[in-house]
Structure 1
Amino acid sequence: MDEKLSKLVERVLYHHRTQGKAVEGVHIRGITDALRADGVEVDIISLPGADPYASPKTMSPTRQATPLMKLVARFPEPLFELTELAYNAVAAWRVWRHLSSKGRVDFIYERYSLFMFAVVWLAKLKKIPMILEVNDSAMVERVRPLYFLRMAKAIEGWTFRNAAGLVFVSSVFRDRIQAAHGTIAPAIITPNAANIDKFTSTPEQRAAARAKWKLDGKVVCGYLGAFLPWHAIDKFVFEIADQLKARPDLVLLLVGDGSTFPEVSEFVRKRGLQDQVILAGRVAHDDVPGLLAAMDMAILPSAGDYTSPMKLFEFMACGIAPVAPNFLPIREVLKEGVTGWTFTPGRLDEAVSMVLSKSVDTQALHQVGVAARAYIAAERQWRHNVVQLVEFVMKLSGR
């Protein structure tokens, strides 16, 4: 599709109930900015106080955006879920009022949240195509196990059947949802993305970044993301620690923070690895490309078996060779030995061996990084995602 998207759609309403921070904020801005760049008007209705363009981009994934969110997050699970359910009334009123004042939109795009059904119901009532982007589900394991699980499943099943269309980040996630709920709305698979122009650095920027972090003459393996148990960066550091002394040319540059950060920091201090394990902490998203410029390869120690890790795309967009777990969603976007390498999920000893062996050949790292960046440029920028989305809506509408 070479023509401007605005020739096909003029106005889109994007609704979400997330806090609009960290990865979810990056995704919301990616879709919205790509549509706007093609002349499409996009109105965003966010959780009050959680505008993805206003919320702190550096906010920790575990930190709440507003005092009200902090309060709600402390609710006992049953009350927390009932609050989520009650938000349907708020969402329905806000979306109805917006549609009444702004006029008809070509379609509504919503980032799905548990217990949310009101906007799908309202869209059906007003005969507006409703597309749900599905990143979560009652069918997946949760940090906070669901108390009203049966109700969540029932609402989710109705929502997935009554939306005009669904967008999943991976085929395995779509198949899992379809197996659980039976009939669902038509669906497309759209992995995450990254814009090349936001992840482009000059040789001078790379030299400056490496000088700042004292990385000259080193092979740098980076990590960018949250320090949380399910991301396993702490376990990766523990696993590789004993072998770093034998590889003085190899340095880990770890960017981010979270609940396991203090433990990793103390471990590095006790082992005397401060020169080989550099903990950059949490930085603004706009500062990320500068840190990425210093890296030669990157490690993604763990990921959900159905997710599409945003950081994988950002590594690849920067021309950084990634090492990632061999889950199907990752295999859908990473070509083994060409745009990156994979290891058996959960086998961090394999991940360590992969990093140690691949870091020896800097020419191969460069070649894989170049190929990874070329793939993102050709197939996985945010405009590719919105073109697929608009084509999907046109097909559903019979246009």
Structure 2
Amino acid sequence: MKILYHHRIASKDGQYVHVEELTNAFLDQGHELKFVAPQVNEQSDFGHDGGFVSKLKNALPAFIYELLELTYSLWIFIKLVKAIKAFKPEFIYERYNLYQPAGILAAKLFNVPLILEVNAPLVEERSRYSGLSLKRFAKWIENYTWKGADHCLPVTDVLAEHLRDAGVDEDKITVIHNGVRQPFIDEMLATPIDLDKQQIIIGFTGFIHPWHGMDKAIEAIAEHKDLPLKLVCIGDGTILPELKQQAADLGIADKVEFKGLITRDKVLDFVKQFDISLQPDVTAYASPLKMFEYMAVGSLIIAPKTPNIEEILSDDTAVFFEKGNQASFKSSLNDAIVNYQNYIEKREAVKNSVIEKRFVWHENSKRVIEIANLIKSSQRK
């Protein structure tokens, strides 16, 4: 099929990974793609924060930046109109962003189906974390965009509830979680879990925030100095100097390693080594990309027991702790360390669940195509 792919991501981070993996899956299956999207992410390294756009957002008053976002949507509308006329797509696939009704307007103008991927309730998210000046207007735009799409793809059922509350019909909602690339899954399924390793690797990928409780992970490792443990963290964080000092003070500097930012093509090489993986915190509606990679390698996952995570994991496939309770997090990690050899069934089960629950980018792309075909079929009736 001919797919017009629209997104507004200017940073090269987890969002970009999602776009890259899904579009590669579309291309692998023979579909033709045309993008209406910023070019900056193609020219920058992984971890890039969006450059000029990020600086502009920090420099301007919130309401001015938000008005600029809406104005930018007019420019995007023109670009979409040109792309639709030239490319003649069978449907538009859009990654939802705030103040961006251009896709809906262009789709309606040309009667082209639009499938909207929703990764967050951005009015709520931006109000909470970065501030939102025109909140009521932003919510009206958000609801208009969600309800105007021919079909919405929230990444969790928790997130789907936000769409239902906004008035999106149930038959226009399909939950599609994030996933893992098929070749990596095939490689991992062909690789038995090794319980005889000389060193047990406890791993984490992502930005390390103070509330993650990584200091508790270091404390747990220090309580088991006699065991061949090593904590490997992939990613950055403002608290890394404090964590390094903590490890040194506890006499386990040799058991804690911070790799910093790693290029995307190298991250999975480290994840393959993880025997125990840490998901120390999670946004209530998120479908964490890294967790599916942890699952694919058959790692023993320590995760918060929250509704969105329980859509993905269960007591049979993970060791849970109480969200926001760092003592509970440390206790669960201690349990995993002490009972490491006894949790082989959880590790095998979590590895197999990636296939059983279709947490695969190629499967996601197939489901999108199925939905697009159903929309087109219903339009012809």
TM-score by length of 1: 0.85
Deviation at 1:89, TM superposition (A): 1.3
**1:278 CA drift (Å):** 1.6
- Identify the match of residue 368 of structure 2 among 384, 389, 395: 389
**Counterpart check, 1:273 vs 2:252:** yes
Alignment of 1:139 onto 2:130: no
Q: 2:99 aligns with which of 115, 126, 146?
A: 115
Matched, 1:56 2:45: yes
User: Residues 110 and 131 of structure 1 are in contact (CA less than 8 Å); yes or no, is this contact kept in structure 2?
Assistant: yes
Q: In 2 relative to 1, CA 41–79 (structure 1 residues): closer, same or farther, beyond 3 Å?
A: same
Displacement over 6 Å in runs of 4+: 201-204
Tell me, yes or no, if structure 1 residue 75 matches structure 2 residue 60: yes
In the alignment, the residues of structure 2 paired with residue 265 and residue 313 of structure 1 have an alpha-carbon distance, to the nearest angstrom, of 28
TM-score (norm 2): 0.89
In the TM superposition, 1:262-341 aligns within 5 A as 262-337=241-316, 339-341=317-319
- Secondary structure in 2 aligned to 1:323? strand
Match of 2:8 in 1: 17
Match of 2:159 among 173, 177, 181: 173
- CA change 1:73–1:46 in 2 (3 A) is farther
5+ long unaligned stretches in structure 1: 1-9, 208-214
Tell me the distance in 2 between the aligned counterparts of 1:291 and 1:365. 21
Gaps of 5+ in 2: none
Structure 1: how far apart are the matches of 2:169 and 2:130? 26
Give 1:210's aligned residue: none
Q: Which has the larger helix fraction?
A: 2
Q: Does 1:93 align with 2:78?
A: yes
Q: Which residue of 2 aligns with 1:369?
A: 347
Counterparts of residues 208-247 of structure 1 (less than 5 Å): 217-229=198-210, 232-233=211-212, 235=213, 237-247=214-224
Q: Is the 8 A contact 1:114 1:136 kept in 2?
A: no
- Quote the offset at 1:71 in angstroms: 3.2
Q: 2:107 is aligned with what amino acid?
A: A
CA distance in 1, matches of 2:60, 2:239: 24
> Identity rate of aligned residues, in percent?
25
Map Cα deviations across residues 240-288 of structure 1 (whole Å, 9 max, x no partner). 4444333022322111103333332343344443122221211111111
Secondary structure of 1:308's counterpart equals coil
Distance 1:27 1:188 in 2: 17
Find the aligned partners of 1:377 and 1:183 in 2 and give their Cα distance. Answer: 30
RMSD: 2.5
Give distance in 2, aligned partners of 1:272 and 1:79: 51
In structure 2, distance between residues paired with 1:291 and 1:390: 33
Separation in structure 2 between the aligned mates of residue 203 and residue 333 of structure 1, nearest angstrom: 22
CA distance 1:90–1:263, shift in 2 (3 Å): farther
